[in-house]
A and B are shown apart, each in its own frame.
Chain A
Amino acid sequence: DAKTTQPPSMDCAEGRAANLPCNHSTISGNEYVYWYRQIHSQGPQYIIHGLKNNETNEMASLIITEDRKSSTLILPHATLRDTAVYYCIVRTTNTGNQFYFGTGTSLTVIP
C-alpha cells in the first residue's frame, strides 16, 4: 500500500475550519484514501474515505486532488473535542489488507 506524509502537528482555533493535508504521491489507481482519528488512549475512529471524488459526511469533508497525489481533510467547525491525532491511510478495498498507520497529524483545537 502507498505511503502517506502528513505534518506532525497543527493548531486550529475553536469554531474555525481545520484543514489537514496529506500527501500520497505513490497512490495506485485502486487505492482509496481513508482518514481516521485517535483521541488520547482510545482506539482509532473512522472519519471518511474516498477514491476520486470529494466526499462529505456529518463529520468532515474530504478533498482529493485531480491527480490523487494529495488530499485534505476538512473539519468545518472545529471543537475542543476534535483535538486528536489524525491519520491518513491509503489502501485497496481488499478486506484482507491491513491498515498501516503513518505518524499522523496531532491537531490541537485552541479555545
Chain B
Amino acid sequence: GAVVSQHPSRVICKSGTSVKIECRSLDFQATTMFWYRQFPKQSLMLMATSNEGSKATYEQGVEKDKFLINHASLTLSTLTVTSAHPEDSSFYICSAPLATFYGYTFGSGTRLTVV
C-alpha cells in the first residue's frame, strides 16, 4: 500500500538551532502534503498544507518564518523548524492524500526535543 516515510523519528537539538524533518511518498506522487503538530495528551493540530511547486498554506497562528516548508518534488516535502526553542518540542506528523479512497496516509512522526 501507499506509504509515507518520515525522518528522523527522533531528534534532540539545542535551542537556537534549526531542524529539518523529511516526508517522502514512497510509491505514489503527492502534490499536496499536510503537516501536523501534536503536544502530549492532545490531538493533532494542522499546521500547514504543502503544495508541490508553490508556497505552503499555513493555518492561523502558525508562524511561516519559523516553520519553513518546502515541497520541491512530487515525492518530498520538508519541514524546517528554525531557531528552535523548548516550546517547539512536540510530535510532528506529515500526511498525504490518497486518491484511491480519498483518505490520508500518515508518516510515523518525528519526536522533536529542544534542550
Contacts and interface: CB of A to CB of B under 8 A. Distances in A.
Interface string A60-94: 00000000000000000000000000010000010
Nearest to A104: B43
Interface residues of A, number: 22
A45 to B, nearest CB: 7
A93 B102 contact: yes
Given A41-B111, A43-B95, A101 B43 contact: yes
Contacts of A38: 44
Minimum-distance CB pairs A-B, first 9: A43-B106, A93-B102, A95-B97, A101-B44, A101-B43, A44-B106, A43-B108, A43-B109, A43-B93
Interface of A: 32, 34, 36, 38, 41-46, 49, 87, 93, 95-96, 98-104
